[in-house]
């Protein structure tokens, strides 16, 4: 059993996933792309449950990027409807698993029903402590960094801070991801090896894991494989192997 090979004491606190390959999965079966997104919801449920069962604290899923707005109109509206429906129907799964829901991204871009569904699910799940599921919606890392820069510049202009006060901590605390530890592990499915504007600042020291599995086929076993791979890596944070073994002694 793969699950038993996982060292629960060395779990990543935060896993981020680029859920890719829904369209190809559907096309491979002669179906419309949205069929792939619909089946992707099953993988979302599996992975959220899998992470919560293990004790991962945060899971961030790239559900809709800023760039996804330029997809054909019918796909965008089908994805938004799917999101609204999924958030509504899966609130029970979130409650059953003690999962709190949160979202990052430019929420003003989202349709009204999506914002109200999200707000409702976030309110219902807010006291859950086992894990936080963070949906990246209308999100891109460059958008977040530009947004944070504007806020910091406005503070400097109003003399609330001086330019010398600007440091990594301030930038960190101004990004929409400020509440969460940075992901130790980032996974991308479908064989593509790109970051696609996801959490650029936060993945400075993340381990990257790429798998050929298409997102609608991704199951708990695939999650376990990614975590085992992560646990077999040496995370040096710029130090040498020798320095690390000194620290461990
Ligand atoms: C990428 O596959 C996937 C998306 C843009 C959407 C992901 C959305 C879901 C899995 C559904 C709902 C999610 C939640 C969190 C409720 P792609 O369309 O780029 O696939 P392709 O590269 O094969 O074309």
Sorting pLDDT into bands at 50, 70 and 90, what band is 249? low
Residue 60: inside a domain, yes or no? yes
Residue 170: inside a domain, yes or no? no
Sorting pLDDT into bands at 50, 70 and 90, what band is 123? very high
CATH number at residue 223: 3.40.1180.10
Sorting pLDDT into bands at 50, 70 and 90, what band is 5? very high
- Of the chain, the percentage scoring pLDDT greater than 90 comes to 93
Mutate-to-test residue for ligand 1 from 23, 59, 90, highest number of ligand atoms within 8 A of CB: 23
Compute, in angstroms, the gap from residue 33 CA to the centroid of ligand 1.
9
Q: How far apart (Å, rounded) are the C-alpha atoms in residues 3 and 209? A: 18
Q: What is the torsional sign of CA 208, 143, 216, 3?
A: positive
Give mean pLDDT, residues 21-40. Answer: 98
Give mean pLDDT, residues 155-166. Answer: 98
- Of the chain, the percentage scoring pLDDT greater than 70 comes to 99
Sorting pLDDT into bands at 50, 70 and 90, what band is 236? confident
Residue 135 Cβ contacting ligand 1 at under 6 Å: yes
Pick the residue whose CA is nearest to atom 18 on ligand 1: 23
Residue 158: inside a domain, yes or no? no
DSSP 127-157: T--SEEEEEEEEE-HHHHHHHHHHHHHHHHH
Q: What separation, in Å, do the N-terminal and C-terminal C-alpha atoms of the chain show?
A: 32
CB half-sphere exposure, 108, CA atoms < 13 A: 2
Residue 86: inside a domain, yes or no? yes
Q: What is the mean pLDDT of the chain?
A: 96
Residue 23 Cβ contacting ligand 1 at under 6 Å: yes
The number of folded domains in the chain is 1
Residue 30: inside a domain, yes or no? yes
Residue 162: inside a domain, yes or no? no
CA dist 100 → 122, 132, 133, 247 (Å): 7, 5, 6, 35
CB 139 within 8 A of CB 66: yes
Mutate-to-test residue for ligand 1 from 63, 213, 214, highest number of ligand atoms within 8 A of CB: 63
Residue 37 Cβ contacting ligand 1 at under 6 Å: yes
Reference 84, options 33, 120, 46, 52; nearest CA is: 120
Q: How many residues does the chain have?
A: 249
Compute, in angstroms, the gap from residue 242 CA to the centroid of ligand 1.
42
Burial of 108 (0-12, 13-18, 19+ CB in 10 A): exposed
Q: What does pTM read for this prediction? A: 0.95
Please report the atom of ligand 1 found closest to the CA of residue 26. Answer: 23
Range of the domain at 117: 10-140+181-234
Residue 240: inside a domain, yes or no? no
- Three-state secondary-structure class, residue 217: helix
20 is catalytic: yes
For 54, the token pair is 């293990």
pLDDT of residue 16: 98
Mutate-to-test residue for ligand 1 from 37, 60, 70, highest number of ligand atoms within 8 A of CB: 37
pLDDT of residue 242: 82
Residue 136 Cβ contacting ligand 1 at under 6 Å: no
Residue 147: inside a domain, yes or no? no
């Amino acid at each position: 059993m793969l699950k038993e090979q996982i060292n629960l004491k060395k779990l990543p606190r935060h896993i981020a996933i680029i859920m890719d390959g829904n369209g190809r999965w559907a096309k491979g079966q002669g179906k419309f792309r949205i069929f792939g997104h619909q089946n992707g919801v099953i993988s979302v449920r599996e992975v959220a449950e899998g992470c919560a069962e293990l004790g991962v604290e945060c899971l961030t899923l790239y559900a809709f990027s800023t760039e996804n707005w330029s997809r054909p109109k019918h796909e965008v509206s089908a994805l938004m409807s799917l999101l609204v429906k999924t958030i509504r129907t899966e609130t029970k799964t979130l409650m059953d698993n003690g999962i709190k829901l949160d979202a990052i991204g430019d929420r003003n871009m989202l349709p009204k029903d999506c914002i109200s569904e999200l707000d409702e699910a976030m309110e219902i799940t807010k006291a859950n402590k086992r894990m936080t599921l963070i949906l990246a919606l209308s999100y891109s890392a460059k958008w977040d960094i530009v947004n944070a820069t504007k806020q910091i510049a406005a503070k400097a202009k109003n003399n609330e801070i001086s330019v010398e006060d600007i440091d990594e901590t301030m930038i960190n605390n101004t990004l929409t991801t400020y509440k969460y530890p940075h992901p130790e592990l980032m996974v991308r499915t479908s064989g593509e090896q790109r970051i696609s504007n996801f959490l650029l600042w936060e993945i400075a020291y993340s381990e990257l894991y790429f798998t050929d599995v298409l997102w609608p086929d991704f199951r708990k076993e695939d999650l376990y494989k990614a975590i085992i791979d992560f646990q077999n890596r040496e995370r040096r944070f710029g130090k040498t192997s020798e320095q690390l073994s000194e620290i461990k002694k």
